[in-house]
Homo-oligomer: A and B are copies of this chain.
Amino acid sequence: MARIADQKTDFPQWYLDVIEQAGLAEHAEVRGCIIFKPYGYALWEAIQRDLDRRIKELGVDNVYFPLFIPESILQREKDHIEGFAPECAVVTHGGGKELSEKLYVRPTSETIIYTTFAKWVQSHRDLPLKINQWANVVRWEMRTRPFLRTLEFLWQEGHTCHISKEDADTMVNAALQMYADFDREMLAIPVLTGRKPEHEKFAGALYTLSTEALARDGKAIQAGTSHNLGQGFSEAYGVSFLDAEGKQQRPWMTSWGLSTRIIGTLIVVHGDEKGLRIPPRIAPIQAVIVPIYKTDAEREAVLTAARTLCASLGGIRLKIDDRAEKSPGFKFNEWEVKGVPLRIELGPKDLEKRQATFVRRDTAEKIAVPLASCTGAFVQSLLTSIQETLLQQAIAHLEAHTHIADDMTQCSKLLEGEGGFVWMPWDGTLETATQIKDATKATIRLLGDRANAKGKTDPQSGAPATEYALYAKAY
């Protein structure tokens, strides 16, 4: 097996090596697109399964809208088309003929969905209207990286329609909280949440909320966003309703999404020098049994014990790696790269002692366990402990790399070192944000509470601060 680049000195190459060697994905023949291999897609399926349940618990129904958006429909919301049209793939021919109207491959589906909402929404009794779709979308990115930024990606996009701004606010906060809970509970990823600055909001939105995680290389990475779209799309797409008093009103829209980028987030938050570390709750394989033997008789005895053990561990996503042509060392390495939370070694010496040797992927700790104690409950408790350790390590990393700065020297020093997040007073202008970006490569990820910035000065411009901003270099 090829080696993985050193995580500390060449994080970008480490990232690509891990994806390749863990068998998550590979580059496709189409520029900027990836092929999700079985192990990578199994991760996405596990993510979908859990997130879909959470979405449905918010009272949201799944639907499916077309891939193609006619140009005339995409153009109706001015800010939106300005933001997205330059990065669209465009179908000009179909059935061997040139089309009379170009079709855009959806970069996101607000425009086509809200055209339909105009038909579905008539009365306040039709609201709230809450739908979601799992779909592929295409954005013509020039610089791509597997999972993190690809031409085509998979995601869910929720779209809702409400009577009032308050209801829409509640919805975007609920969606954001759902992402934060999902990230933390399933992926063991702690996130910071908050509002994006005006110049970073979704094209056409009133405001955008985001969850931001911190990669091991000190860079910020988005892990789910939620937009209050205000009434702009209602206006542009002619959506209105009769309120309880019989007055015509414009509803308030929200949209929110989480994409296969989250798999990239999972890699850069938990991966270590040996490869992936997948939190047990989301792991396609939670434990792998590696039989160790030299003779045929040993093989027979060890495999029998492995199968017996396997049968007693119902409910655990388990695999016996019985490949005859690979050595135990090769297998150890491969399952470590793949980030399987638990390895269970079974060899002649283990059988002699009536034990199995457990190796935790999170801490590399080896534990000899009497076979009689290898119950489902025992393995489950180990998995729970691994899940918790990964979360605590990520929390410790996030906390150790989140600082407050009051001057530019301090800010630059923090960002240049191990990276991470830096809170700093901001004067609220794009000009200042741009100057800081040019100087440090850091952008504003989120905005903090306005109250804290009272009396503070923006260290870049010297102007009074309107709020604290969270700076970081980002993916």
Contact = CB atoms under 8 A, between A and B. Distances in A.
Contacts of A325: 125
Contact of A30 (B33, B68, B85, B90): B68
A458 interface: no
A140 B63 contact: no
Nearest to A33: B66
A44 B135 CA distance: 14
A246 interface: no
Contacts of A90: 91-94
Interface string A5-43: 000000000000000000000101110011111100110
Contacts of A28: 65-66, 112, 116
A70 interface: yes
Interface in A59-87: 61-70, 73, 85-87
B30 A70 contact: yes
B95 A92 contact: no
Give the copy number: 2
A152 B29 contact: no
A432 interface: no
Chain A residues touching B, majority SS:
mixed
A151 B131 CA distance: 23
Contacts of A140: 94-96
A138 interface: yes
Contacts of A89: 68, 91, 93-94, 103
Contacts of A69: 30
Interface in A95-141: 95-96, 103, 105, 112, 115-116, 125, 131, 135-136, 138, 140
Given A95-B87, A103-B89, A41 B64 contact: yes
A35 B118 CA distance: 14
A186 B23 CA distance: 34
A62 B41 contact: yes
Contacts of A105: 67, 91, 105
A65 B35 contact: yes
A407 interface: no
Nearest to A87: B95
B38 A131 contact: yes
A143 to B, nearest CB: 12
A84 to B, nearest CB: 11
B131 A35 contact: no
Interface string A432-461: 000000000000000000000000000000
Contacts of A86: 95-96
A236 interface: no
A92 B94 contact: no
Contacts of A62: 38, 41-42, 45
A142 B96 CA distance: 12
A154 interface: yes
A150 to B, nearest CB: 9
A66 B152 CA distance: 7
Contacts of A125: 325
A432 B198 CA distance: 70
Given A28-B112, A30-B70, A33-B68, 4 more contacts: A35-B63, A86-B96, A88-B95, A105-B105
29 contacts: A28-B112, A28-B116, A29-B66, A29-B73, A29-B116, A30-B66, A30-B68, A30-B70, A30-B103, A33-B67, A35-B64, A36-B63, A36-B65, A37-B63, A41-B63, A41-B64, A42-B62, A67-B67, A67-B105, A67-B136, A68-B89, A68-B151, A68-B152, A88-B94, A90-B94, A91-B91, A125-B325, A135-B136, A136-B136
